[in-house]
Structure 1
Amino acid sequence: MKVAVGNDHRGLAVKQRVIGLLAELGHEIHDLGATGPAGVDYPDYAIPVGEEVGTGKADRGILICATGHGMCIAANKVPGVRASNCRDEVDAELSRRHNDSNVICIAADLLGEEQIERMIRSWLATDFEGGRHTRRTEKVVAYEKARMKPPCD
């Protein structure tokens, strides 16, 4: 699976561990995140990761900032993105099974290393359940298509 990864300055250390985990699991990684500790703006990383996922260049995306909130808000502005800010592996699993999330947002300042690893493993291993959830996700996609203009080249 191709996974786009992005982070701001607060998520740098966590990103490095996440990339190690993704490599260990055999995923193709596209690192679009900040590379140093200087303060940066989360939309500058969330939007490119969202575009990779929304256009199908990446299968999934992982975004990391202090709380996960800013990244999640920014990524969800990109057509085709269903980003979820998750706090544990059950939350991550349900975001995939019920909501078909394709981007997970991680709170670097609030979650421990082991918790983050369990969450990512769960999220990557879980498929969309479909069934009654398909009807719901299709409503979101229909709204998005009706209201959002495609990006300009």
Structure 2
Amino acid sequence: MKISLGCDHGGFAMKEHIKTWLEGHGYQVEDCGCYSTDSVDYPIYGKAAAEAVASGACQRGIVVCTTGIGISISANKVKGIRCALCHEPLSAEMTRRHNDANMLAIGGGMIGPNMADRIVEAFLTTEFEGGRHQRRVDLISDIEG
């Protein structure tokens, strides 16, 4: 599975940590930036990571800023993206099961690396349940116009 990654300066350290975790677990990574702690604008990198998922170049994406809020909003502006901000593994599991989320947002300043590992693992290993949830995902898709 290929995963796109995007971050701003506030999420850079966590993105690098997640990148190492992903590669260590056999995932391919498309790093959409940023590439340092120099101040940048998170919408640029949230959009880039989301477009990699929306185009089909990557199966899932993970974005990180200090809180995860701004970059998740940016990613969700891309048609076809369902990005969920998660601070613990159960939310990551449930957003996959019920919402078929294709992107995960993490607040690099809100959680530590061990929790991030558990969230990422839950997000990447949980399958969408379909069934009654598919109707709701379809309704979400209809909102995108």
TM-score by length of 1: 0.93
Deviations 1:111-134 (A, max 9, x none): 011111000001100010111100
In 2, the alpha carbon distance for the partners of 1:22 and 1:13 equals: 14
Is 2:79 the partner of 1:79? yes
Q: Which amino acid aligns with 2:22?
A: L
Residues 85, 106 of structure 1: 8 Å contact kept: yes
Is 2:8 the partner of 1:16? no
In 1, the alpha carbon distance for the partners of 2:136 and 2:30 equals: 30
Name the residue aligned to 1:45. Answer: 45
Aligned length: 145
Q: Which amino acid aligns with 2:132?
A: R
SS of residue paired to 1:38 = coil
TM-score by length of 2: 0.98
Mapping of residues 26-37 of structure 1, within 5 Å: 26-37=26-37
Name the residue aligned to 1:62. Answer: 62
Deviations 1:100-152 (A, max 9, x none): 000100000010111110000011000101111001001111232xx2xxxxx
Percent of aligned positions with the same letter in both sequences?
39
Residues 43, 74 of structure 1: 8 Å contact kept: yes
Name the residue aligned to 1:107. Answer: 107
Q: Which amino acid aligns with 1:83?
A: C
Q: Which amino acid aligns with 2:85?
A: N
SS of residue paired to 2:99 = coil
Residues 55, 80 of structure 1: 8 Å contact kept: no
SS of residue paired to 1:98 = helix
Q: Which amino acid aligns with 1:89?
A: P
Structure 2 alignment gaps of length 5 or more: none
Name the residue aligned to 1:129. Answer: 129
**Displacement of 1:90 after TM fit?**
0.2
Residues 4, 29 of structure 1: 8 Å contact kept: yes
Q: Which amino acid aligns with 1:58?
A: C
SS of residue paired to 1:5 = strand
SS of residue paired to 2:35 = coil
Residues 80, 141 of structure 1: 8 Å contact kept: yes
Q: Which amino acid aligns with 1:68?
A: G
Name the residue aligned to 1:151. Answer: none
In 1, the alpha carbon distance for the partners of 2:112 and 2:16 equals: 14
Residues 82, 101 of structure 1: 8 Å contact kept: yes
Q: Which runs of at least 4 in structure 1 moved beyond 2 Å after TM superposition?
A: none
